Amino acid sequence: TFFISLGVTFLGAALFSWSRGRKKGPVPQEAIIGITFVVAAAGVILLLSRVAGGKEELEHLLTGDILNVTGGEVGQRAAIFAALAAFYAAFHQRFALISSDPEAAFAQGMRVRLWDFLFYAAFALVVVSFVRVAGVLLTFAYLIVPAVCGVMLAESWMRRLLIGWATAAIASLVGLSASYWLDLPTGAAVVCASGLLLVLVSAVARRRPA
């Protein structure tokens, strides 16, 4: 299952990198990614609706079963994420350039589509590895909410990174506590805690001077 999922996400990475043009088109890259995600998710729901036990499998896919993760699984993912962190750090400037100014990257002779593919392929490893234990909702909450909080509160990459780590840690602690005391599904509780934290950070960012 893991390698099939990884193969499909690599195909998605190839599609997203191929769809990027030299100039920004009328449809942004993020919209293409979002549409692909929604259609793929709907396809999974249709397939699981025809399978015995599909409802339970769908719930596990969305929210995971993070309370039953073993120490070995944590160690495996820590090793994978550390290697990917080193990869992103080594080529950080290239990824930042093709994301913020793809026209300049093309002008410099960079193979933008290749670097796009490498970015998405490494991203796919993160998603596929984490979805197996935490579910889709929690995976994307961890990937998006801390980054958005960092962007709203800081300018430098390092400060954004530290704020993102702190945001993820606080949301995890709040969500786990709510799950324990209120007997709620753990993954969904952490996702909602992330959303509430994002609202608070947004309010703080709006009150800060320009």
Average pLDDT, integer, range 6-26:
76
pLDDT bracket for residue 116 (50, 70, 90):
confident
Is 176:190 a contact under the CB 8 Å cutoff?
yes
| Higher pLDDT, residue 197 or 5 | 197
Task: Report the C-alpha gap between 92 and 95 in whole angstroms.
Answer: 5
Task: Report the C-alpha gap between 132 and 2 in whole angstroms.
Answer: 8
Average pLDDT, integer, range 80-105:
86
Most confident of 6-15, 60-69, 101-110, 191-200: 191-200
Distances (CA, A) of 165 to 27, 62, 168: 32, 23, 5
Asked if pLDDT for residue 167 goes beyond 80, the answer is yes
Give residues with Cβ within 8 angstroms of 157, minimum separation 6: 92, 96
Q: How far apart are the first and last CA of the chain?
A: 49
Which pLDDT does position 169 carry in this prediction? 95
> Per the structure block, which two tokens stand in for 71?
């120490």
Which one, of 83, 90, 115, lies nearest residue 13 by Cα?
A: 115
Give the predicted TM-score (pTM) of the model: 0.78
Q: Which of 72-81, 165-174, 181-190, 201-210 has the lowest mean pLDDT?
A: 201-210
C-alpha gyration radius of the chain:
19
* Largest Cα–Cα separation, the chain: 56
Block residue for tokens 């909080």 = 149
Which pLDDT does position 191 carry in this prediction? 93
Q: Over the stretch 18-70, which tens digit does the pLDDT of each residue have?
A: 776 666 667 677 777 788 888 888 888 888 888 888 878 887 778 777 888 88
> Per the structure block, which two tokens stand in for 196?
């509430």
Of how many residues is the chain composed? 210
Q: Over the stretch 117-148, which tens digit does the pLDDT of each residue have?
A: 888 888 888 888 888 888 888 988 998 999 99
